């Protein structure tokens, strides 16, 4: 099994801009930028809250950064290193949930999944049937259960899948009813 450093280092060296610098004989500059890339990747992994992979690339949602008077949220997106981030998160931060939608037969079925609530107390209340709408802000566990019900591969991290699948039942049922119309 490769070490975490060797994985991150390999990705940094494989980046086309760094390769081009090496081809031009600028090895010190290439190595300097590779080190910056490695540090950036490690910072991203440390701040990860949720990881997703889809046909369009990957997204790492980051922990909120609390400033003096505000809270900022961030994400890192990309196209080529999604599997690398997935492996690194699984090894370094096993508590971070992940989902992969690349194997979903019909991606349009994912459109009814609620939005991820950001921050404290920002999630919407479910309707009287206990379901969240597609434009509602729902807790992370409900969203993961919805992705799983649509055929995505889900790694739950430190969340209890049974509890969240139960809470998501009304939302999943609502999504299926809308799909049948």
**Are the C-beta atoms of residues 78 and 52 closer than 8 Å to each other?**
no
How many Å apart are CA 63 and CA 72, to the nearest integer? 9
What is the pTM for the complete model shown? 0.78
Q: What is the pLDDT of residues 100-134, one digit of tens each?
A: 898 888 888 888 899 887 665 577 888 888 888 88
**Are the C-beta atoms of residues 101 and 152 closer than 8 Å to each other?**
yes
Total domain count for the chain?
2
Name beta bridge partners: 54. 57
Q: Determine the structural domain holding residue 10 and report its residue range.
A: 1-96
Domain boundary among 67, 96, 125: 96
Give pLDDT, residue 35.
93
Burial of 164 (0-12, 13-18, 19+ CB in 10 A): buried
Domain boundary among 44, 68, 96: 96
**Are the C-beta atoms of residues 86 and 57 closer than 8 Å to each other?**
no
Give pLDDT, residue 71.
47
3-state secondary structure of 98: strand
Give pLDDT, residue 70.
45
Q: Give the pLDDT means over successive 10-residue stretches in the chain (181 positions).
A: 80 87 94 91 84 81 62 56 73 88 87 80 79 88 94 93 94 86 70
């Amino acid at each position: 099994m490769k070490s975490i450093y060797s994985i991150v280092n390999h990705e940094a060296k494989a980046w086309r801009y760094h390769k081009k610098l090496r081809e031009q004989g600028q090895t010190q500059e290439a190595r300097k930028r590779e080190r910056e890339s490695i540090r950036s990747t490690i910072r991203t992994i440390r701040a990860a809250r949720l990881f997703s992979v889809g046909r369009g690339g990957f997204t790492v949602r980051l922990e909120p950064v609390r400033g003096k008077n505000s809270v900022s949220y961030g994400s890192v997106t990309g196209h080529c290193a999604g599997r690398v981030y997935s492996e690194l998160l699984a090894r370094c931060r096993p508590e971070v949930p992940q989902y992969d939608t690349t194997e979903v037969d019909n991606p349009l079925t994912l459109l009814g999944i609620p939005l991820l609530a950001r921050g404290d107390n920002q999630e919407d209340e479910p309707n009287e049937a206990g379901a969240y709408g597609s434009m509602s802000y729902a807790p992370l566990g409900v969203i993961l259960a919805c992705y799983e019900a649509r055929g995505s591969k889900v790694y739950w991290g430190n969340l209890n899948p049974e509890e969240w699948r139960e809470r998501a039942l009304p939302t999943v049922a609502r999504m299926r009813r809308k799909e049948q119309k």
